[in-house]
Amino acid sequence: MKKILVTGGCGYIGSHTIIDLIENGFEIISIDNFSNSYPEVLDKLKEITGKTILNYNLDLCDLNALKEVFKENTDIDGIIHFAALKAVGESVENPILYYRNNIDSLLNLLDCCSEFQIKNFVFSSSCSVYGNAEKLPVDEFSALTVSESPYAETKVMAERIISDFANVNSFNCALLRYFNPIGAHESGFIGENQKGLPQNIVPRITGTALGEFSEFKIFGNNYPTIDGTCVRDYIHVSDIAHGHTLAIQWLFEQTTDVVEVFNMGSGNGVSVLEMVLAFEKSTGQKLNYSFEEKRAGDVIAIFANNDKAKNILGWQPKKDLNEMMSSAWNWAKKL
C-alpha cells in the first residue's frame, strides 16, 4: 500500500480525491491549515471511507514545520499538491498574497522532495494558464498566452518551476490542467464549501436559489460567445478526483523520469447562461439573475481537448451536467 501526501486535503477537490485514493488502495496523510476549509471534513471523510485521516494543521510556507512532517513520515511515496489560493478576483486585488502563498508553498514542497527523495508528484494546475486561447478546444500543445490574472500566472510559474526542478532531479510529475470542477460527492457528505462569500459559479447559483443572495449576477453579456456570456468547461469533482488517482498510479508505473501535462475537462463548452438554464431544468428551481459589467481577470471562453488524458491515463468523465447541478443542489440544501 503506497502512502500519498495530499496537500489541501480538506478542501473541495482534495477531499474528494482522498476518497478516490482510499477506494483505490492508497494510504493517505493530509496537510491542511483550514484557511479555506473546515476540520469537520475529516469526520465526513471517515464516515465515507471508514478511515481516520491524519492531517497536519500547518502552513506550507513554513519550511521548518513542513520538514517535520516528512521526518515523521519517511515512507511517503508520492505527493498530490492542491493547497493554494484560487480566487481570480481576489488575486487581481491582492497579487502579492497570491505570489507569496502559491509559489513559496510549492518551492518548500520541492525542497522536501529533494531532501527526502520523493520523486512522484501530481500538481494541481489550471486551464487558466491558456488565457484567452486563439483556438478552441485547447490541447496540451496550445500556446500559453498572457495570463488574465495573478492566480493564473502563479500556475504558469509553478509549471515552469516544476519542469526546471525535474531537469536536475530524478523526478516524475503530472501537471493536471483542470477546468471547472462542480458538483458534490454522491453521499451528500462533502461538497464545495469555501469560507467567506463564495466566488465560484455554482455556490452562487445554489445560494441564490436558497435565498442567501437576492440575485445571481452574470458578469458580462456581450462577449463573442453563443449568448454573450463567458464559456467554460464544467467537470464533476468526482471525475476530477479520479483523474488524480490515475495520474499518480501512472507515475508509479514509469521506468524513466517524466513530466507530462494533462487536460482534465469534459470537452464541452457551456456558457454561464446555459448553466443557469441547466440548474433550473435539473432542480425545478427558477433563478433570479441579472447582467452586470464584465469582471477583471475573466477569460472569454475556454474548454478542453481531453484526448491525452483518455489515451494515456485511461481517464473518462462519467457525469453529465444535469448530475453535476443536481448533486450540487442536494449538497447545498443539506449544508
**CB-neighbour burial class of residue 255 (10 A; exposed 0-12, middle 13-18, buried 19+):** exposed
DSSP 319: -
Gap between the Cα atoms of 208 and 87, Å rounded:
19
3-class SS of residue 329: helix
Q: Is 151 known to be catalytic?
A: yes
- Three-state SS at 315: coil
Three cell numbers, residue 46 = 471517515
Closest to 38 (Cα-Cα) out of 206, 202, 183, 190: 190
Q: What is the DSSP letter of 38?
A: -
Of the candidates 130, 151, 223, 234, the residue annotated as catalytic is: 151
- Closest Cα partner for 270 from 298, 304, 238, 306? 304
CB 77 within 8 A of CB 223: no
How far is residue 318 CA from its own chain's centroid? Answer: 17
Are 82 and 7 in contact by the 8 Å Cβ rule? The answer is yes
- Burial (0-12, 13-18, 19+ Cβ within 10 Å), 95: middle
Longest CA pairwise span in the chain (Å) = 56
Cell numbers 465560484 correspond to 200
Other Cβ atoms closer than 10 A to 261: 19
**CA proximity to 156, closest of 180, 123, 194:** 123
Which residues form the catalytic set? Answer: 151
